[in-house]
A and B are shown apart, each in its own frame.
Chain A
Amino acid sequence: MQIGKIVGCVVATVKNPGLAAQRLLIVQPLTPELKVAGKQIVCTDATGAGAGELVYWCKGKEASFPFLPVEVPTDSTVVGIIDKITLRRGHKNEC
């Protein structure tokens, strides 16, 4: 999973029937320091997250599992709304 922030949503009338009633969120991937990490993506939503919220999202086939038994054609889904991040870098990274 990766951290991201919801920066918008997509409205599409014509879409695959499997995507009916799905919210499509635009997510900006972030580093744990909340710096931008790559380009925005569109995710389906399994949590009810809204604009501006810090979330984590899952990619791949697993992204469609929250909606089982309905098979939703998605490759990325928001699966958690983040309350708090504890971050402690600075360990010696010698392998």
Chain B
Amino acid sequence: MLIGRVIGEVVATAKHASHEARKALLVQPLTLEGADRGTAVVALDAVDAGIGDRVLLIMEGFSAMTSVGRPDSPIDMAVVGVIDRLDLMPAASPPRSAEGE
């Protein structure tokens, strides 16, 4: 799982049936320091997350399908949690602060 930020949503009419009735969120994966970690991805929403939320992002098929409740579907990424807070040991803390928003 990765930490990410929901930065947007994607609207698609023509899509695979298994993606219907689920939000397709644009999620930017982040490092612990809060910097961008690669390209933003499209993930299906399993927890009712919204734009601006810091979330837990799954980037593997089986767990993504299971969390969305659609087995044997072409789903490889899903948002499975909204992060309230991170607690880090001092050594692992980012330079500025370990506090949330």
Contact = CB atoms under 8 A, between A and B. Distances in A.
Interface of A: 1-3, 29, 31-32, 37-38, 46-49, 56, 58-63, 65-66, 68, 77, 79-89, 91-95
B62 to A, nearest CB: 8
B19 to A, nearest CB: 6
B80 to A, nearest CB: 15
Given A60-B61, A85-B26, A93-B30, A79 B7 contact: no
A27 B3 CA distance: 27
Interface in B1-55: 3, 5, 7-16, 19, 24, 26, 28, 30-36, 39-43, 51-52, 54
Nearest to B70: A65
Given A62-B75, A86-B51, 10 more contacts: A32-B40, A38-B39, A47-B14, A47-B16, A56-B42, A79-B74, A80-B15, A87-B7, A91-B7, A94-B97
25 contacts: A2-B41, A3-B10, A56-B12, A58-B74, A58-B75, A58-B76, A77-B74, A79-B19, A80-B19, A81-B13, A82-B11, A82-B12, A83-B12, A85-B9, A86-B9, A87-B7, A88-B52, A91-B52, A94-B34, A94-B94, A94-B97, A94-B99, A94-B100, A95-B34, A95-B54
A77 B31 CA distance: 28
Nearest to B17: A66
Contacts of A94: 34, 94, 96-97, 99-101
Q: How large is the interface on B (under 10, 10 to 19, 20 to 34, 35 or more residues)?
A: 35 or more
Nearest 9 Cβ contacts at the A-B interface: A80-B15, A93-B34, A1-B42, A87-B8, A62-B61, A80-B12, A84-B11, A81-B14, A58-B74
B76 A60 contact: yes
B58 interface: no
